[in-house]
Amino acid sequence: MALAKRIGCRFGFTWNLEPVIRPGFHANDGVHQIFSANFIARYWLGEALDPDAFPNMDFNVISRPILKQAASGSAIRGWRFNRHGSFSRFRDTWSILDLFRKTGLDTGAAFNRVDFSAEIKNAIGAAKIHRNRPVAAIHLRSGDIVHGHHRNFKHVRKVIPSTLTKSLVEKLNDEGCDVLLVGQDKSTIDYLKRTTGAFTSDDFGSGDFAPGTLREFFELSLMARCAFLYAGASNFAEIATMIRGRSRDRVFDLMSWPRAAELVLAELERHESDYHPLEAAFGYQWALSGLEPSLDPQITRRILERAQALDPGNESYVLKLAATDFRDGRLAEGEGLLRSLLENELEAHQNKRPLRSLGIFSAVYARGPFLTEEELNAVSAGARAGCVYAAIYCAYLYRDRRRRADREQAKTLAREFAEIVRSNGAGHLIDIVEAFIPAKRSSRRRTPNKAKK
C-alpha cells in the first residue's frame, strides 16, 4: 500500500474468503476476520487475479512511467507484487524491510495504516512490555523445517535451534537483558522457560487470546516492542521487524556459528532426552552445518548417527552418512547405504520421478551445496570405481547443475556417470537414469519413409 502510494498507483490486495488451514503452517483466516469492512470494501480485489491482466512485477527499478510504458498497448490492468515472486527480483535485497528502506518508506507507519478488524486491533494494542530491564525476544521457529518435510539441511540458517537457547539466554542475561521466548512448539517453550527463567508470551497476557491468528498478532506485536529481536528468517519474524521498523538482531553478533555449534553439541550431550526428538535431531543438523567441512569424518559420522537415531526416516542423514563412508574409503558401506535408500524409494514411489533423495543430494542451498566439495569428490571417485548407485546420484547431481554457469562441464560429467550406470547396472537402474539423462541417439541419419503408393 505504501509502495503503491509512493509511485502514484492505486492499491488493491487479494485474500482468501474462507479460512485456509495447512498442517504444519500458520492458519490463514478469511479476509473478514483479518481486515475491517471498510478496508475490504476499498481495497479487496477478491481471492485471485487474472495473471494476464495483472502480471507479476519483475522490474529491478520501479516507477510509474516504467509501469505505464510496459502496459502500453496491452490488456494489462495492473501489477502483482508479492513476497515470493516480486521481492525476489530485487537482486540487491532479500527482505521486505530492506526493500522499503531502499525506497525510503517507513515500515512501521505503513503497517499502522492497515485497517485491521477490531479483534486484531485489540490484540495488537494489548501487546505491551512492562519490565525495568530491556527485553530481548528470541523467536524459535519449528514448523516444516524442524518437524516437517524440510528437515534436510536446506533451511538451517532460517532457524535458531532450541538447543542453543539456554546459552543465548545466559549471555543476554549477563548483558543486562530479560528474555522473551516465542515459538511454535509449546512443550519446548515451556521446558526452556523452566530451565532458563526466561519469559514467554503467557507472562504478558497471550492467554487472553485464543490460539490462532489473534494470539499470533499479539505475539508478533510483543516481539516488535522488545529492545532486541533475535530470529531466523520467517514471515512471522519479518512482520515483527516491519512493525518495529528495524531489522532483526543476529545471533552471530553474539557468537560465531562454530562456537554456537559447539554449545549445541555440549547441550545435546547432557540433555538430549529432554528435547523433542526432532528438535534434538535438528540441533545436530544445525551444529554440523556450522562446523563442516573442518570436522574429522569420525566426528561427522557420530553426529549424523545420533541425528538419524532420533529421526530415522530422514533421507538427508543417510546421504550424508554415505558421503562420509566414501570419504573414509569405505566404498562398500557407502554404496550399500545409497542402494538401500534408492531401492526403498523405488518400492514406495514406483511412478515418481525424480525420487526425493536425488533432489536432496543434488541441491544447492543458500549456505552452499548439500554436499561439501570433499564429500562430492569422494562419492564421484567411488562412482568411477564402479559403485553404480553412487553413479546414479552423481549423474542426477550434474544433470541438475546444467542450468548453472558450468553447465557444459556439468553436462559432460552427467553423461559420464550415466554411462557408468548403463555399463554396470541392472535394467531397472538404467531406467532411473534414462528418466533424466536419455542415452545418445545414433549418429546415423534416419532414412525417410517412402511415400505410400
Q: What pLDDT, on a 0 to 100 scale, did the predictor assign at position 184?
A: 85
- CA-to-CA distance for 401 and 302, rounded, in angstroms? 30
Q: Which residues contact 173 (CB under 8 A, 6 or more apart)?
A: 179
User: Does the pLDDT of residue 336 top 80, yes or no?
Assistant: yes
In single-letter form, the type of residue at position 50 comes to D
Residue 172's pLDDT band (cuts 50, 70, 90)? very high
Q: How many C-beta atoms surround the C-beta of residue 117 within 10 A? A: 20
Q: What is the CATH number of domain 128-253?
A: 3.40.50.11350
- Reference 282, options 293, 299, 268; nearest CA is 268
What pLDDT is stored for residue 303 in this prediction? 96
Interval 212-227 mean pLDDT: 93
Close Cβ partners of 34 (under 8 Å, ≥ 6 residues apart)? 15, 116, 117, 120, 213
Please list the alpha-helical segments (H only) found in 24-93.
Answer: 31-34, 37-43, 64-71
DSSP secondary structure letter of residue 93: -
Please report, for the chain, the start and end positions of each structural domain, with discontinuous segments joined by +: 2-115, 128-253, 313-434
Contacts made by residues 433-441, CB under 8 angstroms, sequence distance 24+: 433/392, 433/395, 435/353, 435/354, 436/353, 436/354, 436/395, 436/396, 436/399, 437/395, 437/396, 437/399, 440/415
Q: Compute the mean pLDDT over every residue in the chain, rounded to the nearest whole number.
A: 84
Global confidence as pTM: 0.84
| pLDDT tens readout for residues 239-283 | 888 888 788 899 999 999 999 999 999 999 999 999 999 999 999
Whole-number Å distance between alpha carbons of 332 and 367: 30
pLDDT at 45 over 80: yes
pLDDT (average), residues 296-312 = 94
**pLDDT tens, residue by residue, 314-325:** 999 999 999 999
Q: Examine the pLDDT at 453 and tell me if it is beyond 50.
A: no
